Each structure stands twice: as structure tokens, then as C-alpha cells.
Amino acid sequence: MTTPEDSADRPVLIPELVSLDAGLPADKDVVLNALAVLQVDAGRATDATVLLGDIHAREAQA
């Protein structure tokens, strides 16, 4: 997964990672994509596509 070097010093949950009433459909892939974009926009990941690949790989193991 691609994460910035200084991410260990940050709290896990920050306001930038919360999206209430986003109006997203009940579609898992759309929601995961929106969450990945939030991570990138907040500086928690550098590439939403890579993050989504990691998420899907993890989901395949479950």
C-alpha cells in the first residue's frame, strides 16, 4: 500500500476521513472507491487505484 512516510504520527481518524450523507449508492465498489479517494485527498495514501487494489486483495482473502 502507498502511504506517506509520516503517517505513523497521525491519529487514525481525522475529520477529513469522515463523509456523512455522501449520497452514495448501496454499491460496495462505489463506496470503496469514494473511501480510497478520501484517503488520498487527506494525504493518507498516494494512489487511490493502488489502495483499491490492496483493498480488493484483502477482501479476496476473507
Tell me: pLDDT of 9 over 80: no
Structural domain includes residue 14: no
CB distance 4 to 44 below 8 Å: yes
Q: Which domain holds residue 33?
A: 1-6+24-62
Helices 48-61 & 28-41 angle (0-180, nearest 10): 130
CB distance 1 to 51 below 8 Å: yes
pLDDT score of 13: 87
Q: How many domains does the chain have?
A: 1
Instruction: Out of 13-17, 22-26, 55-59, give the one with best mean pLDDT.
Output: 55-59
Residue 3 binned pLDDT confidence (cut-offs 50, 70, 90): low
Structural domain includes residue 39: yes
Structural domain includes residue 49: yes
pTM above 0.85, yes or no: no
Structural domain includes residue 34: yes
CA 7 to chain CA mean position, Å? 14
Structural domain includes residue 13: no
